[in-house]
Structure 1
């Protein structure tokens, strides 16, 4: 790749390295410059620009990032579409992340242009949590570099171990004179921990802090896991709770851990059943060493003496003034929840009596194809805006798409937008507004828009364009604009909002003319079919 300043007239097909604002010309960096762009720049008297010019063996940044990320694809991982050379990897479910540091280090040693950043090994994650991001630094890298990066990931760099539900009995011991409220507090805290990990609370047994009653309770339990929260801190392997495990025919595999709070945890087993002796700090919701052990056990990961022995680095978990309390920390970056809104309530007035959304495309009605593509995309929900009485309702299908009735479709596009926003899920972070008569928009295109969405980076409206930069549809709107979308009127849709919020708009180029090919007339249909 060649990077540097060139004469504007020689920059057709190059990638603009720095945004240009000259007169009425507004071109963002990263744009592949068309002949029309060059003409506009020259008309604005921009004679020289800084660009990246790809060579024959170069792989564009998005393709390079996608190829590398594909080597991390595996069960439990969700790979997003690329945007500006970045591909994010999210968790498809809750669990514990394992990271192969050797593979990550090998990848990052291939070339400074290729980077992979991940969460720490053994991180506990929720569904939709961002686990890793592949980023290509320049606008392109050599094919040989990408191949070397793929080779470095021959061993999976990321593995997500989902939490597996199972029954857990809780045993609470009480010393003489101990307040029942303290037992109540401990039980509530343990229950919360189990719920958070998808574990089922089994029997909750309260008994004296003595060896034999606790040993008998352990013998009677049939749960695959037992958790003991003692009325007094365990200070030795021969203390009450560990001694009860041994008396019940079990073994103590580890006593104590180099994590604070959490030092006084012990881990044991009775046959195939696991026994976890909780430290007293488990009565608090604050993070402690027991959480690390429970997370791994819930994810079916082995926890042995040696595993606990190496937890010391990073094991100082005490809440100190310079660090927020663990329970108050902001959750890790997560995959945004995006819902697709298909506007399909129009009257097809220009079709001469035919319904454009029932026209056949590849053997099925156009609307069926549009709905199918939306369902195959990364959108978390699909809503189809339709009039109350319409044959289109019969062809939406039985998938996860939901029909939303538009009470006043004759008003135009705005009525459908308002209905869609009202029907969105309460947790939606963004919506994609799609037109029902655009046959070339695919699931991959929708994923490109989702990948570009990032409120933290100011990318809150994502608008599709043709390959030449002509703006079109679909358009993604972040939650910041939901209220404004409820106030749109007439058949202008969200045009006024797009103009007012132009600083939040990022354009994403789709293949060919997918973003502007909408078929409203018989003549447009005939020309499109002939072009295929």
Structure 2
């Protein structure tokens, strides 16, 4: 690309670098100059114009933006018409943004001429929400750059999908709460209300609520009763927060054939979450902070589960960067362990 001050004698086909006003007529940045445009400029007293002439092996900015957008967009994502080197991507439905950060980084690192900006990974989006913007910085880029980048993204065991939106799938959820003399009278009602709100946000419903005493035998019976309801997910809120894999609730699960997959998460609030499985039903022993509707680590797990996305122990342990949700707390005013 030849970016320079061009004589109007040789300006046909030039991409205008900046907006130019000639009398009552305005030429926008990026306008490809025609002989008629040049005549208007001459009449206004101009002799040169600042702009860019594309080489034969270069792709204009709008077309290049579309080609990059096609590489980025996966399921649940649609692109709009490119203008001034920018092509925006939008969600086609409500769900969660699934982003391959390494692939987006690879595109951006390919050249300073390419800029791909996305929402943060795992952001909840609505239909029509903007999820990414692709901008070509100059007026054109090399066709070879586009070809090599496409081949690079397609290489590997499976084709890369840098950005998609996984739709929420309705889940029937059961909530089991344990009670004791230490639990305040309104805690159970508050927990139910917060859970309904939390599930509604990811397109699911609280279909059954069970309460039992915080004692191993009763918990075992209640767990089996809960999974027998036909729920897709079981949430367990303890009268006291689980502090160990051998604590009352996980112990009860294990004694009736349940499996503990992971305990703890680097998200605050939400550290004390436990993830397991009973009779092939996912079980989340929720932290005390989940008694409130305020965002916490449980929400991060539910969003993925509600979109039918796998959640592994490694996934949880990699949530630490950005995992400090509540930054206002002070150590000397830390909340009780029941809220952890």
- Please give the TM-score of this superposition, normalised by the length of structure 1: 0.57
Give the stretch that moved more between structures: 295-304 or 242-251: 242-251
Large movers: runs of 4+ above 4 Å = none
Q: Given the alignment of the two structures, is residue 129 of structure 1 paired with residue 134 of structure 2, yes or no?
A: no
Task: Indicate the residue corresponding to 1:231 in structure 2.
Answer: 239
Q: Choose the corresponding residue for 2:167, options 153, 156, 162.
A: 162
Q: Secondary structure at the match of 1:55?
A: coil
Matches for 1:387-402 after TM superposition, within 5 Å? none
Q: Partners of 1:93 and 1:209 in 2: how far apart?
A: 41
Gapped regions of structure 1 (runs ≥ 5): 322-532
Cα deviation code 1:319-372 (max 9, x no counterpart): 439xxxxxxxxxxxxxxxxxxxxxxxxxxxxxxxxxxxxxxxxxxxxxxxxxxx
**How far apart are 1:22 and its partner, in Å?**
4.2
**For the structure 1 residues 104 and 177, does the alpha-carbon distance in structure 2 shift closer, same or farther, using more than 3 Å as the test?**
closer
Q: Partners of 2:249 and 2:193 in 1: how far apart?
A: 20
Q: When the two structures are aligned, how many residues end up with a matched partner?
A: 321
**How far apart are 1:275 and its partner, in Å?**
0.4
**Higher relative contact order structure (alpha carbons within 8 Å, sequence separation ≥ 6):** 2
Q: Partners of 2:268 and 2:56 in 1: how far apart?
A: 56
**How far apart are 1:264 and its partner, in Å?**
0.9
Q: Secondary structure at the match of 1:153?
A: helix
Task: Indicate the residue corresponding to 2:318 in structure 1.
Answer: 310
Task: Indicate the residue corresponding to 1:30 in structure 2.
Answer: 30
Q: Partners of 1:239 and 1:184 in 2: how far apart?
A: 24
**How far apart are 1:248 and its partner, in Å?**
3.1
Q: Partners of 2:72 and 2:265 in 1: how far apart?
A: 33
Q: Partners of 2:153 and 2:95 in 1: how far apart?
A: 22
Q: Given the alignment of the two structures, is residue 182 of structure 1 paired with residue 177 of structure 2, yes or no?
A: no
Contact 2:263–2:274, Cα closer than 8 Å, also in 1: yes
Q: Partners of 2:128 and 2:118 in 1: how far apart?
A: 14
Contact 1:72–1:153, Cα closer than 8 Å, also in 2: no
Q: Secondary structure at the match of 2:42?
A: helix
Contact 1:65–1:135, Cα closer than 8 Å, also in 2: yes
Q: Partners of 2:293 and 2:327 in 1: how far apart?
A: 12
Q: Given the alignment of the two structures, is residue 262 of structure 1 paired with residue 267 of structure 2, yes or no?
A: no
Matches for 1:407-418 after TM superposition, within 5 Å? none
Matches for 1:271-290 after TM superposition, within 5 Å? 271-290=279-298
Matches for 1:427-506 after TM superposition, within 5 Å? none
Give the stretch that moved more between structures: 193-202 or 312-321: 312-321
Q: Partners of 2:46 and 2:27 in 1: how far apart?
A: 12
Task: Indicate the residue corresponding to 1:300 in structure 2.
Answer: 308
Cα deviation code 1:282-340 (max 9, x no counterpart): 1222221111111111122222222212222221111439xxxxxxxxxxxxxxxxxxx
Give the stretch that moved more between structures: 241-250 or 46-55: 241-250
Q: Secondary structure at the match of 1:311?
A: coil
CA RMSD of aligned residues (A): 1.9
Contact 2:74–2:162, Cα closer than 8 Å, also in 1: no
Task: Indicate the residue corresponding to 1:509 in structure 2.
Answer: none
Q: Given the alignment of the two structures, is residue 68 of structure 1 paired with residue 89 of structure 2, yes or no?
A: no
Q: Partners of 2:73 and 2:218 in 1: how far apart?
A: 50
Matches for 1:243-262 after TM superposition, within 5 Å? 243-262=251-270
**How far apart are 1:130 and its partner, in Å?**
2.2
Q: Partners of 1:120 and 1:166 in 2: how far apart?
A: 25
Contact 2:22–2:40, Cα closer than 8 Å, also in 1: no
Gapped regions of structure 2 (runs ≥ 5): 155-159, 330-340
Contact 1:61–1:136, Cα closer than 8 Å, also in 2: yes
Q: Partners of 2:211 and 2:44 in 1: how far apart?
A: 81
Contact 2:235–2:285, Cα closer than 8 Å, also in 1: yes
Task: Indicate the residue corresponding to 1:57 in structure 2.
Answer: 57
Q: Secondary structure at the match of 1:179?
A: coil
**How far apart are 1:177 and its partner, in Å?**
5.3
Contact 1:110–1:148, Cα closer than 8 Å, also in 2: no
Q: Secondary structure at the match of 2:72?
A: coil
**How far apart are 1:162 and its partner, in Å?**
1.9
Q: Secondary structure at the match of 1:169?
A: strand
